[in-house]
Structure 1
Amino acid sequence: MITTVYRVEGMTCGHCVSAVTAEVSKVASVTGVQVDLESKAVTVTSDRPVDEAVIGAAVDEAGYELVGR
């Protein structure tokens, strides 16, 4: 298992958490997503490495911005 933590800007409420969780969960190989609204951290667990650009695209699809790890 690989765990990577990303920072996401723009999240302000529970709906934001749900939207990001739903979109990132659709990414191939992702086995778990934990979103911490307070720290703006998204912890992604996967069974193999996932390109940061793919996670960024999923976060973008949810309406938010991936700003790095």
Structure 2
Amino acid sequence: MPRSAKYSEAEAKTAKLESNAKHQREKLDRIVIQPKKDIGAKIRKSAQLSGQSLQGYILQAIQERMEKEETEKL
């Protein structure tokens, strides 16, 4: 016999969606890039070969460049 849930599945799903939306609004910045298709394919392939997600790969590359540029200023 299934145990009674505090919330229905629909209520839990709605609450999760609302929680995710709030997190995205308050904590995340949205930056869109639009490379040409051939460049995008190369970026995706490189990310895959490195075992990283596309987002992780791009963010790591940006972070490394920012750190390099900051070091060069010193």
TM-score above 0.5: no
State which structure, 1 or 2, has the greater radius of gyration over its C-alpha atoms: 2
In terms of fraction of residues, the more helix-rich structure is: 2
